[in-house]
Structure 1
Amino acid sequence: MAKTAIGPDEMGRRYDQSASITDVMNEGQVHLAYWYGREDTTPLREASRRITGKVVDALGLRPGERVLDAGCGLGLPALDVAEATGAHVTGVTVSQAEVDAATKRAAEARMQEQVRYQRADFMALPFPDASFDAVLAMESLVHAPDLDQALRELHRVLRPGGRVGLVEYTLESEAAGLEVEEFFGNLGLGNVLTMQGWIEAFAKAGFAVEEYTQCGPRVFGMGPKYIEAARGIRERVVAQFGTEAYEGLEGGLAGFFEISAGRVGYVVAAFGKVRG
């Protein structure tokens, strides 16, 4: 799929605009959710935290390790990682609104000494070489204007033997269709690759795949559950943002999952730094 032309400033502006309504929808998380089936009644917030748990397990994080959350969103995943593992987490995002919301969330949890957030672009990170033991990239690399450059930066800031936990959309096949490419491109999602495509991109940057799990049917295959979650907060969204904003939220979700069903998967993977 062709790379998006949307740069970090424009992407930051988009997330600045959507941060408040996203926080209402999924309480500190920007990524998707995992349900075991249509009969699973787990709330969206907890179903989303399952994704964080899966990438933590794949990375095998240990107390005291230094973790970069590259594209940290509204901050809850970094807090969950720190609490579950004892790691120290630094989150970066191009959205100042997300930094502000995440920093407030860490302060409320009294974890600001263990977790911090700052506005930065993962294409040009403000950290020395070998600063981190692990990187989380949760639905963030899909936005990179230059995926090769983004992966080189992650490689640079990782210590030898460090690893990346990837949570990302995947094409079910190369023949997923131009309709998917155009739709996702308009959202700024320009790097939707097959699983083999992700493996090849990471290999080019000096990583080897260690583990991957395809979760698509339990993530993209659960579109009606996201609509149900949106309807459950309708009154709150209308009161805070207006009817038009709510209609945009529900309509956007419906279109997103309609176009994705059966064409787009969802992978949780771990890659290890093997050179450099």
Structure 2
Amino acid sequence: MGSTTPSTDDIGRMYDETAALSQIFIDGQEHLPYWYDDHDDTPVVEAAKRITRKVGAAIGLRPGEHVLDAGCGVGAPAVQLAEEHGVRVTGITISSVQAAEARRRAERSAAATRIVFAHGDYNHLDYPDDTFDAVIAVESLMHADDLAASLAEFRRVLRPGGRLAIADCTREAPAGSEPAARFTTAFQIGQLLSVPEWVSRLRTSGFDVDEYTQCGPRVYGMGLRYLDRANELHNELASRFGEEMVGELKQSYRDYFSYGADIGYAIIAARKPSL
């Protein structure tokens, strides 16, 4: 990867700085929302919860299972999964600020006794082999500086037959396309894979791939609705973070969602083979 790829410390600092914004802007659902079409007027936070539900459904979470949320942010998806599926969730984030915010969120949940958050690196997990029934990685593997090592660590901590769900942006343009290259450089993304490339990487890492869904037009393709949300919250955001920051935020959304059909979004379910 090129020199623009941020270090682990860079990523941690970036999320330290944005934790407070994400709590206000999207109630801690730090991933893209899902809208069915232009006539779907679901509020942005509820639309984001759809991705969390789709991730849980893709791997068939069952009550009592233990789930690792690798790159848990400020904890909203982990809390949602614990409440809606009756699972135990351990979340890990590279940001100490996010980890603290996530713990506070968990304390307010009816599922608080089944949720734990930690500050750490999903490339170096402090858990024994075969600890988890499932691992989810929602828009977090884009930051992996060594994807093979990340997937190997997930496989290690999964029990035999354990499941992995990945939700992330994908490359819909041909390999080496100029727009996709600009996207990864501009937003310091470690890798932007096509769905077939994801399937290949997972299989090479020892996973069986169960399902994949390309829902880019309903996720990335609807992303400019973030501008509506920024306009809705303009006064609150400006009073908290300043007018200049709000202007930069809106421009960043215009830039991020300007790549059209070259960028997609996929939810992929895989499994560690049983013994």
Shift of 1:190: 1.6
**2:261 counterpart SS class:** coil
Deviations 1:38-60 (A, max 9, x none): 11111110000000111111110
Read off the aligned partner of 1:30 and give its amino acid letter. Answer: E
Match of residue 271 from structure 1: 270
Q: Which amino acid aligns with 2:74?
A: L
**Aligned-pair CA distance for 1:175:** 4.3
* SS of residue in 1 equivalent to 2:90: strand
Offset, 1:131 = 0.5
User: Where has structure 1 moved over 6 Å in runs of 4 or more?
Assistant: 1-4
1:57-206 superposed matches below 5 A: 57-175=57-175, 177-206=177-206
The one-letter amino acid of 1:163's match is R
Q: Which runs of 5+ in 2 are unaligned?
A: none
> Hey, what does 1:210 align to over in structure 2?
210
Is the 8 Å Cα contact of residues 32 and 223 (structure 2) preserved in structure 1? no
Q: Matched residue of 1:230: which SS?
A: helix
Where 1:250 maps in the other structure, the secondary structure is helix
Aligned to 1:30: 30
State the distance in 2 between where 1:4 and 1:139 align.
19
Corresponding residue number in structure 1 for 2:234: 234
Percent sequence identity over aligned pairs:
41
Normalised by the length of structure 1, the TM-score is: 0.95
Deviation at 1:19, TM superposition (A): 1.1
Letter in 2 for 1:76: A
Structure 1: 5+ residue stretches without partners: none
Inter-partner Cα distance in structure 1 for 2:62 and 2:4 = 35
Is the 8 Å Cα contact of residues 135 and 165 (structure 2) preserved in structure 1? yes
What CA distance in whole angstroms lies between the structure 2 residues aligned with 1:204 and 1:41? 41
Contact 1:130 1:156 in 2 (8 A): yes
1:110 CA displacement: 4.1
Give 3-state SS (helix, strand or coil) of 2:258's partner. Answer: helix
- 2:56 aligned with 1:44: no
Residue by residue, what CA displacement relative to the aligned partner does 1:163-197 show, whole Å, maximum 9, x if unpaired?
Answer: 10110111113246234323323423121100011
Distance in 2, matches of 1:5 and 1:216, equals: 24
In 2, Cα distance between equivalents of 1:58 and 1:216: 16
CA RMSD, Structure 1 to Structure 2 (Å): 1.6
Secondary structure (helix, strand or coil) at the match of 2:268 reads strand
Count of aligned positions: 275
TM, length-normalised to structure 2 = 0.96
Aligned to 2:56: 56
Worse overlay, 59-68 or 21-30: 21-30
C-alpha displacement of 1:4: 6.2
| Contact residue 207 and residue 275 of structure 1 kept, 8 A | no
Give the secondary-structure state (helix, strand or coil) at the position aligned to 1:166: strand
Aligned to 2:223, the other structure's residue is in SS state helix
| Change in 2 beyond 3 A, CA 1:85/1:4 | farther
SS at match of 2:62: coil
Letter in 1 for 2:27: E
Which stretch shows the higher mean deviation, 45-54 or 225-234? 225-234
Q: CA deviation at 1:113?
A: 1.2
Supply the distance in 1 between the matched residues of 2:207 and 2:144 (Cα, whole angstroms).
18
> How far apart in 2 are the matches of 1:5 and 1:25?
26
In structure 2, do the counterparts of structure 1 residues 2 and 177 end up closer, same or farther at CA, with 3 Å as the change threshold? farther
CA distance in 1, matches of 2:167, 2:151: 14
Q: Which structure's relative contact order is higher, taking Cα pairs within 8 Å and 6+ residues apart?
A: 1
